[in-house]
Amino acid sequence: MKFKHIALATLLAPVALLAEEATLSSGDTAWMLVATALVMLMTPAGLALFYGGMTRSKNVLNTMGMSLIAFAVGTLVWVIAGYSIAFGEGDLIGTGKLFLSGIAADTLKGAIPELLFVAFQGTFAAIAVAIASGSMIERVKFSTFTIFSALWILAVYAPITHWAWGGGSTLNFGEMDFAGGTVVHINAGVAGFVVALMLGARKDYGKAAIKPFSPILTVLGAALLWFGWFGFNAGSEVAADGIAASAFLVTMVAGAVGAIGWLLAEWVVYKAPTLIGGASGVVAGLVAITPASGSAGAMGAIIIGLVGGVIGFIGVAKLKKLFKVDDSLDAFWVHGLVGIWGSLATAIFIASYAMKEDYNMISQLGSQAAAIVLTIVYSGLVTALVFYVSSLLTGGGRVDEETEQIGLDETTHGEKAINL
């Protein structure tokens, strides 16, 4: 949302924003109520299904459970301390809003109630750690992941958010990240990769065919993610105005061409466009447009999303094999790698009407790169630390061999995905 402050004045400024005394806009508030609900839906429904459908039948519930618990625990730590760290006062770290102290129902943030802004940003924190869960499935302990979720949001997500959107200028390099390309996607992708590395590969990885439970769930999940992403991107404008409309349209376009890109790539390589590929392409396209959603035009979105879909496929089908890391549901490749593309592309594809006169692409690319590197380094290191602590607290982060082989649904949850 950083970029918003730069570009806003040149565009449609909602009247209220310029008024001397801030007043609540019921239109903006109406939109943000909905946008928050949309982003909320992404985690316990969208991601739970998207990931659950790609998991083996013996672990589907466990995978869905991780999205659910990520949202539950994430929400709790967010209102207790996460929001304060991310959006409290301070240069390197925010303070002063623990337990949401000082925020009443009539406290405003721009033209909307701050309590609503708290909720909106909380849904981002929760989905970030839920995205990372995709790298850990079928072997991480449920207890370990639960603790990890809480710690990661406080120690990794909230600080990075503070630097990008909430705080001072020391660690803000002027990057354009309208809706969380760096903050959410690169961050979560890197975190997932690091944990996958620490956990080690699943026993069957690379040996047996790992069949996804049901592409039906994955497609439905991707559709719900897309639906929610309108809140994610257009909601990041925090107003119902022309930029929100533009962000909405490019979100629609990028998801569409992301699917086309991935399917075309699959068709060239395997002669078979898969549903899981189409769903993954939607997500890749959406990841790619996220940082650019407030600045790119529809034609830029076509390129960003299409390339995003192709890069996602290449990452998953080719580059992944160069590493030995069992990033099980490809959080790094689909969110991290494509997120990097999106962040760089943000500096390149800007709608003519959104570009400032003195815009310098090279220097902006530098800002983007700096933010990417900061995120990778910080997220990589602190995630490792946080996961190490979470493992210690739960007697090791990985289930035993027999549990892995029987499946976590039966062993951890005492349930079965489907009883015919």
Partner 1 sequence: MKKIEAIIKPFKLEDVKEALVEAGITGLTVSEVKGYGRQQGHSEIYRGAEYVVEFIPKIKIEIVVSTDEYADIAIKAIAQAAKTGKIGDGKIFVSTIDSVLRIRTDERNEEAL
Binding residues for partner 1, per CB under 8 A? 54, 208-212, 266, 270, 272, 274, 276-277, 280, 313, 316-318, 320-321, 330, 405-406, 410-411, 413-416
How many whole angstroms separate alpha carbon 238 and alpha carbon 243? Answer: 10
* Cβ distance to partner 1 smaller for residue 12 or 406: 406
70 binds, options its own copies, partner 1, none, Cβ within 5 to 8 A by partner type: none
DSSP result, 18-31: HSSS----HHHHHH
* Nearer Cβ to partner 1 (84/328): 328
Residue 227: contacted member of partner 1, its own copies, none (CB under 5 to 8 Å, by partner type): its own copies
CB of 395 to its own copies, least distance (A): 14
DSSP string, 114-155: HHHHHHHHHHHHHHHHHHHHTTTTTTB-HHHHHHHHHHHIII
First to last CA, the chain: 47
Residue 30's binding partner out of partner 1, its own copies, none, with CB under 5 to 8 Å set by partner kind: its own copies
Distance separating alpha carbons of residues 397 and 387, to the nearest angstrom: 8
- Smallest distance from its own copies to CB 303, Å: 12
Q: Specify the residue, 91 or 415, whose C-beta has the smaller distance to partner 1.
A: 415
As a residue count, the chain comes to 420
Part of the chain binding its own copies (CB under 8 A), chosen from 32-40, 184-192, 322-330, 392-400: 32-40
* Shortest reach from residue 251's CB to partner 1, in Å: 23
Q: What is the DSSP string of 303-360?
A: HHHHHHHHHHHHIIIIIHHHS----TT-HIIIIIIHHHHHHHHHHH---GGG--TT--
Residue 280 binds: one of partner 1, its own copies, none (C-beta under 5 to 8 A by kind): partner 1
**Side chain identity, residue 410:** E
Q: Give the whole-angstrom CA distance, residue 100 versus residue 87.
A: 11
Task: Please tell me whether residue 89 adopts helix, strand or coil conformation.
Answer: strand
Distances (CA, A) of 160 to 166, 173, 232, 320: 9, 12, 18, 26
Looking at beta carbons only, is 57 or 370 nearer to its own copies?
57
Q: Which does 241 bind (CB under 5 to 8 A by kind): partner 1, its own copies, none?
A: its own copies
Closer residue to partner 1 in complex, CB, 367/412: 412
> For residue 206, is it left (φ>0), alpha (ψ between -120 and 50) or beta?
left
By C-beta, is 5 or 271 nearer to partner 1?
A: 271
Give yes or no for a contact between 342 and 290, defined as CB atoms under 8 angstroms apart. Answer: yes
Q: Give which of partner 1, its own copies, none residue 313 binds (C-beta under 5 to 8 Å, depending on kind).
A: partner 1
Query: For residue 133, which of 63, 74, 85 has the smallest C-alpha distance?
Result: 63
| Kind plus residue range of the DSSP H or E element containing 343 | helix 338-348
- Quick one: 212 or 308, whose CB is closer to its own copies? 212
* CA angle centred on 154, ends 152 and 155, rounded to 5°: 65
CB–CB of 233/254 below 8 Å? no
Which residue in the set 1, 59, 61, 85 belongs to the binding site for its own copies (CB under 8 A)?
A: 61
If the CB atoms of residues 74 and 180 are measured against its own copies, the closer one turns out to be 74
Q: Does 366 bind its own copies (CB under 8 A)?
A: no
Identify which of residues 233 and 367 has a Cβ nearer to its own copies in the complex. Answer: 233
* Residue 371 near which of its own copies, partner 1, none (CB within 5-8 Å, type-dependent): none
DSSP secondary structure letter of residue 406: H
195 binds, among its own copies, partner 1, none (CB under 5 to 8 A by kind): none
Fill in the DSSP letter of residue 95.
Answer: B
CB of residue 312 to partner 1, shortest distance in Å? 10
Say whether 200 sits in a helix, a strand or coil. Answer: coil
In the bound complex, what is the minimum distance in angstroms from residue 284's beta carbon to partner 1? Answer: 11
Q: Which does 177 bind (CB under 5 to 8 A by kind): partner 1, its own copies, none?
A: none
Residues 238 to 267 in contact with its own copies, rule: CB under 8 A: 239-246, 248-249, 252-253, 255-257, 259-260, 263
Comparing CB distances to partner 1, the nearer of 395 and 414 is 414
Contact 369, 174 (CB under 8 A): no
- Ranges within 377-416 binding its own copies (CB under 8 A): 412-416
Q: Which stretch binds its own copies (CB under 8 A): 98-106, 151-159, 166-174, 199-207?
A: 98-106
Q: Which two tokens stand for residue 186?
A: 């690169």
Give the CA angle between residues 229, 348, 257 to the nearest 5°.
Answer: 45
Instruction: Give the shortest CB-300-to-partner 1 separation in angstroms.
Output: 27
d(CA 399, CA 199): 10
Q: Is residue 302 a contact point for its own copies (CB under 8 A)?
A: yes
